[in-house]
Structure 1
Amino acid sequence: MTDTEQADADARPEPDPSSPPDAQADAEPRRPTKKRGKRRDEKAAPPPGNDAPARPRDPEIERLEQAFERGDYALVRAEAGRLAKEAERDEIRRAARALLRRIDPDPLAVVLLVAAMALLAFLALWYWSHSHAAP
């Protein structure tokens, strides 16, 4: 029990045993629970979008960002790949590579898909290679 809880318990009057149980419950209103831990975590975490590196001011990168937001990933893949190879400034190349990373599939999803296909192939070959008794 913390000091504040002890002080609250000491200051709280004892309920009257002769009163009905409903009256005892209503005698002291419940205090709302405190969510300090959650608030503390929210303050420590950066706001969404601030953890990304600063995007350079370039019309090509801005055009690709807009295409990404629209969902035109084919354009982003083609143009960002070209920009990552041919851009003169290093920050433009980094921003183009960052866009490419954002549209790449999750490596874990790729591994799980390959494992599922290998399991399916194994089970199909096992089924076809073993004889089945006719009824």
Structure 2
Amino acid sequence: MTETEQADTDARPEPDPSSPPDAQADAEPRRPPKKRGKRRDEKAASPPDNAEPARPRHPEIERLEQAFERGDYALVRAEAGRLAKEAEHDDVRRAARALLRRIDPDPLAVVLLVAAMALLAFLALWYWSHGHASP
């Protein structure tokens, strides 16, 4: 046993074997409960005034949202792009652009992919440009 373990063992009071088990549990002071879960839930729930504006009740937008939920992103990309250019109402164009943004690739993923391709090209050129000794 190390010195710190010994000090921890000496500092804890020994429970009385004749006392009931509930009294033994109450003998040690309890720590206050951690409030991390509550804070995490508060961050996850968005406030109502920060909510996304209501989508317009347009049959094309609803059809595109259903296609998005099904995973038919090719249809969403083609039709939402057309709708974003040709729609008569601004709110319909805005909703179509929002759908397009939802299927766009993550900018960080694009940057990391380009960096990985550049690194691969550099390493390949380095390997081919430097001579190798033959055995």
Common topology (TM > 0.5): yes
Range with greater deviation from structure 2 (19-28 or 51-60) = 19-28
Range with greater deviation from structure 2 (52-61 or 17-26) = 17-26
RMSD: 7.8
The 3 A distance-change label for structure 1 pair 9 and 120 is closer
CA positional deviation for 1:54: 1.1
Distance 2:72 2:20 in 1: 68
The 3 A distance-change label for structure 1 pair 107 and 76 is same
CA positional deviation for 1:17: 12
Identity %: 90
Range with greater deviation from structure 2 (15-24 or 64-73) = 15-24
In structure 1, what is the equivalent of residue 92 of structure 2?
A: 92
CA positional deviation for 1:42: 1.9
Normalising by structure 2, report the TM-score: 0.72
Distance 2:7 2:46 in 1: 36
Normalising by structure 1, report the TM-score: 0.72
The 3 A distance-change label for structure 1 pair 49 and 130 is farther
- Partner SS, residue 49 of structure 1: helix
Structure 1, residues 24-58: CA drift from partner, whole Å, max 9, x if none? Answer: 44546857725387259528932799732210000
- Figure out how many residues of one structure are paired with residues of the other and give that number: 135
The 3 A distance-change label for structure 1 pair 14 and 59 is same
The 3 A distance-change label for structure 1 pair 14 and 121 is closer
